[in-house]
Chain A
Amino acid sequence: MSGSAHRVPWGQKAAPRGRYDIGADFRAERTRWVSAPAALSSRVIGICGLGAALASLIDLAYGAHAALALAILALGALAVGFAGMRGCRFPPSIRSGSLLTTVGVAWLAAIVFSTLVYVATRATARVDDALFESVAGFTTTALSVMDNEGLEDTAKGVLFWRALTQWFGGFGALITFVVALPFLGVGDPTEPVESRSTARSTNLLAPQARRRVKRFASVYLGLSGIGVLLFLGGGMSPFDAVTYAFTTVSTGGFANHEGSIGFFESPALEWFAIAGMLLAGANFALLWSAVRGRTHTRLLESFELRAYLGLIGAASGALLLFNASGAGFSARTVRQTVFTVVSLVSTTGHHLDDWTAWKAGGQLVLLMLMGVGAMSGSAGGGFRILRVLVLISLIRRELARQVHTHSVMVVRLGRQVIDEGVIGRMVGHMVLHTLAVAGGAIAIAAFYLGGAEPDRRLLTALSGAVSALSTTGPALEGLGPTTSVLDLPAGARAVLAALMLGGRLAFYPILAIVEAARVGSRAARRSLRRRRLRLIRR
């Protein structure tokens, strides 16, 4: 499973003749299990255990409804984490395919643990609801089965855990994209192109990878800290400030109250939230450069950043025009429009007012914003603005090639030339994305058969699929910001959960797991057959 070199049959000398004898080291470490998925998953569960412990403490402070359950689960998780750190080891190098499997398994482990939390604290009525909430948490999607149902009476520990899953998920997704999926071409655009090309194996402990992870971690923590301070300053209680900061900076969108940020009815808070979402959806490498005081020109040079801000501006302007009903542009309308646009582009999912009451043109614009997504290398999800820009350049190149058939043209983004291989993969990703939306929409609608208003359900299914895939959350019509996802049939919720996972992890890790399972079972059968033959021959 790990592809390590220690495949030596039991009882035999490890070293080839005449070479150094690694037998001693090998035997000492034979007790440790070399498996990347197990190693990563156990550490991830350990971290979740820390989070659960924290949630338990907070719950004690606020009434101790769920503290015991949380504490027990935390202890279990911490135990697993310690066991993993002692008994499980990462291999020194790992193939890309195995890396994808590893990442996928780790995500699933975290989701399973979170499901246990919700079930044990009885926060959700059923197990599949708990699973849904966990998936929505770690994929930073703002769909919750706990909305509108006495949300504010839920134990504070559970609410904290919920926000924590999104916080972890946002960072986890960022790391996944930067470390495990660099070949998708969606990573740090300020990096030179060579380092983004495919590598046969990724050294997990390489200084380059670790430095990148540390930088992003500091940006993420910094943003979270700033978010907490701003929200505190805006008038939220410490608990609310922390949880809302968690769900804003991770572009998750969970809220402790029904009206999301609108509950507080404070313009200052709404602007702080806009700032938070805007930064969370921006490329973290750029933010790092900005904070370190390095060249402002680098910021301005970034095509993607310009497109990101331009898109937000243009969409806000267009929506203000569409929704202008003679009441003029009051500060409130502007604020609400900008909030909605930033929320959807950064794929957060916080909402202020109910956009299902907006004019059809405005809703279509919102749907398109959901489909675009945030910047690459940010905590946000979606199709990524960088990819959209590259694909638009591809269109331009193909149009030009139509006229000048024999010239060799490249696809440019600003001054940077995009490698053909990367473009090919982006096209492949777009196809997968489209197939997922199509299949997902049909699957959601399939649970919705019979009854009236097919058009409404059509729009719900289609927009729900788009929104879930981009990990935003709320969509149009039946999945609007003020409706509860519990109104949908359970099967439709399952489809949404699958789409959320696929969207957050860019499909590859999940598909890699499926492939690995298939290939693994085949290989296991083959090696078993070989071992039997060897016994027979002896």
Chain B
Amino acid sequence: MSAAGRTAPAGRSPLRRRVEHMAAAGVVVSTPLHMAGISIVLVSMGMIVSGLVGAITDGQQVVAIVGAGAATGVAGLMVWRFTSLPGEVSHTSALATVAWSWVAVSVAGSVPFLTTHAFDTPLDALFESVSGFTCSGSTLFDSSGLDGMKGLDELPKGLLFWRQMTQWFGGMGMVVLAVAVLPLLGVGGLELISAEAPGEGADKLAPRVSETAKRLWTVYGVITVLTTISLMVVGMNLFDAVAHAFTAVSTGGFSPFPNSIGDQSLGVEIVLEWWMVISAMNFNLHWFFLGERHFRPYRESWELRIFLKALLVGVILVTLFNTRSGMPFPTALRDSAFNVITLGTSTGYGTANFVTWSAAPQLVLFMFMITGAMTGSTSGGIKMLRVAVLAKHAFRGIRLARQPHAVLPIRRYGESIPESVVSRMAGFVLLYFLLALVGALLIVVIGLGPTVNSNAIVTSVGASVSALGNMGPGFGAAGPADSFAVFNPAGRVLVMVLMLIGRLEVFPVLLMFAAMTKSLRRRA
């Protein structure tokens, strides 16, 4: 799942000697498989913990969950033992590893859903697992009972806890990915937030990632604990507080409550809003704050200012639109604020069913679904940094149109942004839009179930954008009050693929496919 500090230095440790011996004996040398094995082992430990939690709370189907954990643990250990890392990690290999690990972990994570008979088909279990590890939050469990799926209140607590844990793990991996791995590999222009030039960092990837991971996971843990405590202060019991802390810090959005946050008090909503925004900020900022105890990193961050301003404008606009369409002001403010923040941070908790709102507030929410939050966090979407850089680029173009020979670099922090980075960001955004369009088209043609009729386009475009941005709820027939069960199996596969592509910032998954087809062609 993440290239955590497992790459021990080439020293005399017995483990390393064993591994080298096995490599010499003809064991498979493959970075993706090795990393996948490690990740699966970690994930299986989480399953066992969930099983124990289930035993403590309601004691249902504990054996199924713990058994699933044990089985996947064993499988992961086997893969780990019989594979090893090559000496060097190439650029493409690193990206492919990331993609494969996520896929492998999602497959492993779907096992508890099957052993507890929460789903009938492996595909549905895989969907829920993918939605977990990509921190999306789209669910197939249907509390209204219309689509033939189980409701959340029928599931054992252990399984519910595992569901929350999948997002927690997904967030852990994502944070390291977003802060350390992807900027070093120069994905989508993110090298802007790293101090090094992309491409050079590939050989320094492993040690750099391990030191960064420890830092980030400390922040992650601190936020989780603080969220749990503050939720308990506003009235949740321990189980619920931990469950929501897991999905708030990872900006995932799963909730064990059938109605998500819809029935909770205002206090809970406000606490969650606060922690969602914190989790959607660049974790580097939080690390510096914890170290220096100074607010300076927050004040200096250009992207943070833009992110917060965007949220503010969004809340104002949506509240305005809702008030003018007849909602009483207090409800409008409360619901608009929560929904703008939850979608602007790509979390996806549900309160009001915004699908019944007017078109204008829904369009504002749709825009937030596309833009996402800050880089270096667990959130999805295009990220505010890219939006800001490209917007500045466009307005600079307007001034150039009037004065063609002016030299106007884009300024940020006093340095100018190189054209190559702008170009890379543009390429990323274009690819993102293209994938969203193609995804929407495929979904509307082959992916919709029989119950969707009049708002087919809205549902498919909404689902495509939501999946790509790892938001959670969709629009139309797949809104916060419904589930993604309105999509037929083909549609669910499409949504899953989009979720994975979006989580990994597009390029790793595409390179994974490219590498697969290339190796197939070579073998053939």
B198 & A441 in contact (Cβ 8 Å cutoff): no
- Which residues of chain A come closer than 8 Å to B363, judged between CB atoms? 438, 441-442, 445, 458, 461-462
> Which stretch from A211-219, A226-234, A261-269, A429-437 is at the chain B interface?
A429-437
Residue of A nearest to B440 (CB): A364
Contact of B434 among A395, A442, A507 (CB under 8 A): A395
A450 contacts B358, C-beta separation under 8 Å: yes
Residues of B contacting A457 with CB < 8 Å? 358-359
Of B41-49, B113-121, B453-461, B480-488, the one touching chain A: B453-461
Tell me if A72 is interfacial: C-beta within 8 Å of chain B: no
Give chain B residues whose Cβ lies under 8 Å from the Cβ of A438.
363, 367
Q: Write out the residue numbers on chain B whose beta carbons fall within 8 Å of the beta carbon of A367.
A: 457
User: Are B401 and A454 neighbours in the complex by a CB distance under 8 Å?
Assistant: no
Chain B contacts with A in 339-395, Cβ cutoff 8 A: 355-360, 362-364, 367, 390-391, 393-394
Within 8 A of B (CB), among A417-436: 420, 423-425, 427-432, 435
Q: How far is the CA of A517 from the CA of B44 in the complex (A)?
A: 66
On whether the beta carbons of B460 and A360 are closer than 8 Å, the reply is: yes
Q: Which of B186, B364, B431, B457 has the most CB of A within 10 A?
A: B457
* Contacting residue for B357 out of A397, A446, A454, CB 8 A: A454
Nearest CB of chain B from residue A292's CB, rounded to whole Å: 33
| Contact of B467 with A by CB under 8 A | no
Q: Do A449 and B402 form a contact, CB below 8 Å, given A402-B507, A432-B394, A455-B476?
A: no
Q: B334 on the interface (CB 8 Å rule)?
A: no
Tell whether A159 is near chain B: CB-to-CB under 8 Å: no
Do A431 and B394 have beta carbons less than 8 Å apart? yes
Taking a contact as CB atoms closer than 8 A, the residue among A199, A360, A397, A424 that contacts B457 in the complex is A360
Task: Report chain A residues within 8 Å CB of B198.
Answer: 405
Q: B423 an interface residue at 8 Å Cβ cutoff?
A: yes
Which residue of A198, A365, A508 is within 8 Å of B398 (Cβ)?
A508
B444 within 8 A of A: yes
Say yes or no for A448: interface residue by CB 8 A criterion.
yes
Majority SS of interface residues in chain A?
A: helix
Residue of A96, A425, A431 ringed by the most chain B CB atoms within 10 A: A431
Which of A100, A183, A365, A394 is B430 in contact with, Cβ under 8 Å? A394
B404 and A405 contacting across the interface, CB-CB below 8 Å: no
Task: Name the segment of B60-68, B73-81, B282-290, B321-329 touching the other chain.
Answer: B321-329
- CB of B448 to closest CB in A, whole Å: 8
Could you tell me how many residues of chain B have their Cβ less than 8 Å away from some Cβ of chain A? 65
In the complex, A399 has a CB within 8 A of chain B: yes
Q: Is B58 an interface residue (CB 8 A)?
A: no
Shortest distance between the CB of A98 and any CB in chain B (Å): 8
**How far is B510's CA from A460's CA once the two chains are assembled, in angstroms?**
34
**Complex Cα gap A451–B321 (Å):** 12
Q: Chain A residues near B440 (CB, 8 Å)?
A: 364
Complex-state Cα separation, A507 to B394, whole angstroms: 11
What CA separation (Å) do A476 and B403 show in the bound complex? 40
Q: Which residues of A contact B422 (CB under 8 A)?
A: 424, 427
Give the residue of B360, B391, B445, B455 whose beta carbon is less than 8 angstroms from that of A445.
B360
Which residue from chain B places its CB closest to the CB of A101 in the assembled complex? B402
Q: Are B199 and A405 in contact (CB under 8 A)?
A: yes
CA distance A367 to B424 in the complex (A): 27
Task: Please judge, given known A-B contacts A365-B441, A449-B321, A458-B363, whether A435 and B405 are in contact too, CB under 8 Å.
Answer: no
List the B residue with the shortest CB-CB distance to A180: B401
Is the CB of A203 closer than 8 A to any CB of chain B?
A: no
Check if B401 sits within 8 Å of A397, measured CB to CB: no
Interface: A200 (CB within 8 A): yes
Q: Which residues of chain A are within 8 angstroms of B325 by Cβ–Cβ distance?
A: 449-451
> How far does the Cβ of A405 sit from chain B's closest Cβ, in whole Å?
3
User: Does A235 sit within 8 A of B, measured CB to CB?
Assistant: no
A397 to B185, CA, bound (A): 16
The answer for the CA separation of A399 and B186 in the assembled complex, in Å, is 11
| B16 on interface, CB distance cutoff 8 Å | no
Residues of chain A with a CB closer than 8 A to B428's CB: 398
Give B81-99 interface residues, CB cut-off 8 Å to A.
Answer: 91-92, 95
Asked if A198 meets B405 with Cβ closer than 8 Å, knowing A405-B198, A406-B199, A450-B324, the reply is yes
Asked whether A322 is an interface residue with its Cβ less than 8 Å from the other chain, the reply is yes
| Cα A97 to Cα B403 with chains together (Å) | 6
Any A CB within 8 A of the CB of B426: yes
From A96, A200, A391, contact of B401 by CB (8 A): A96
Contact with B along A179-198 (1 / 0, CB 8 A): 00001000000000000001
Q: Are A198 and B404 in contact (CB under 8 A)?
A: yes
The residue in B321, B397, B430, B448 that gathers the most chain A C-beta atoms within 10 A of its C-beta is B397
Q: Which residue of chain A has the shortest Cβ distance to B428 in the bound complex?
A: A398
> Across the interface, do A200 and B405 meet the contact criterion of CB distance under 8 Å?
yes
* Distance of A532 from chain B, by nearest CB (Å): 28
Tell me if B419 counts as interface (CB < 8 A to partner A): yes
With an 8 A cutoff between CB atoms, is B511 at the interface? yes
Whether the pair B460, A199 counts as a contact (CB closer than 8 A) is no
B33 within 8 A of A: no
Query: In the complex the two chains form, what is the Cα distance from A97 to B391 in whole Å?
Result: 21
| A458 close to B458 (CB less than 8 A) | yes
B458 — which chain A residues lie within 8 A by C-beta? 455, 458-459
Name the residue of chain A whose CB is nearest to the CB of B356.
A454
CA distance A351 to B33 in the complex (A): 56
B396 interfacial by beta-carbon distance below 8 Å: yes
B235 at the interface (CB under 8 A from A): no
Complex CA–CA separation, A204 to B213 (angstroms): 62
CB pair A402–B511 under 8 Å, yes or no, is: yes
The answer to the question of B267 belonging to the interface, with a C-beta cut-off of 8 Å to chain A, is no
Q: Are B427 and A399 in contact (CB under 8 A)?
A: yes
User: A361-B441, A442-B360 are contacts. A431–B391 as well, Cβ < 8 Å?
Assistant: yes
| Complex contact A428–B393 (CB within 8 A) | yes
Q: In whole angstroms, what is the CA distance A250 to B430 when docked?
A: 30
The answer to whether B427 touches A403, judged by C-beta atoms less than 8 angstroms apart, is no
Complex Cα distance, B404 from A200, in Å, reads 6
The docked-state distance in angstroms from the alpha carbon of A399 to that of B367 is 25
Knowing A405-B199, A457-B358, the reply to whether A96 touches B404 (Cβ < 8 A) is: yes
- Cβ-defined contact, B419 with A420, below 8 A: yes
The answer for the CA separation of A508 and B358 in the assembled complex, in Å, is 33
User: Is B281 on the interface with A (CB-CB < 8 A)?
Assistant: no
A442 to B437 alpha-carbon distance, docked (Å)? 20
The reply to whether B396 and A445 contact each other, CB–CB distance below 8 Å, is no
Q: Is A529 an interface residue, CB under 8 A from the partner?
A: no
Contact, CB under 8 Å: B402 / A96 = yes
Q: B315: which A residues are within 8 A, CB to CB?
A: none
- Identity of the chain B residue whose Cβ is nearest the Cβ of A455 in the assembled complex: B455
Residue-wise, chain A 458-496 has the 8 Å CB interface mask toward B (1 for contact) of 111110000000000000100000000000000000000
> Cα distance A420–B458 when bound, in Å?
37
Q: Which residues of B contact A35 (CB under 8 A)?
A: none
Kindly name the residue among A322, A425, A476 whose own CB sees the greatest number of chain B CB atoms within 10 A.
A425
Contact residues of B between 173 and 214, Cβ < 8 Å to A? 185-187, 198-199
A394–B426 CB distance below 8 A? yes
Instruction: Give B277-317 interface residues, CB cut-off 8 Å to A.
Output: 317
A513 to chain B, nearest CB (A): 11
A431 touching B390, Cβ below 8 Å: yes
B430 engages A448 (CB within 8 Å): no
Q: Which residues of B contact A442 (CB under 8 A)?
A: 317, 360, 363-364, 367
Given contacts A360-B457, A449-B324, contact A458 B359 (CB under 8 A): yes
Q: Do A183 and B404 touch across chains, with their CB atoms under 8 A apart?
A: yes
Q: Are B393 and A427 in contact (CB under 8 A)?
A: yes
Shortest beta-carbon distance from B418 to chain A in Å? 12
> What are some 20 contacts across the A-B interface (CB < 8 A)?
A96-B403, A97-B403, A361-B445, A394-B427, A401-B424, A402-B185, A405-B199, A406-B199, A428-B397, A428-B398, A438-B367, A442-B317, A445-B363, A450-B326, A451-B325, A454-B362, A455-B475, A460-B359, A507-B398, A515-B399
Q: Known pairs A432-B398, A457-B359. 12 more at Cβ < 8 A?
A: A360-B457, A361-B444, A395-B427, A398-B431, A428-B397, A432-B394, A442-B367, A451-B358, A455-B455, A476-B457, A508-B398, A511-B401
10 smallest CB-CB distances across A and B, nearest first, come from A398-B427, A405-B199, A97-B402, A428-B397, A360-B456, A198-B404, A445-B360, A431-B394, A457-B359, A445-B359
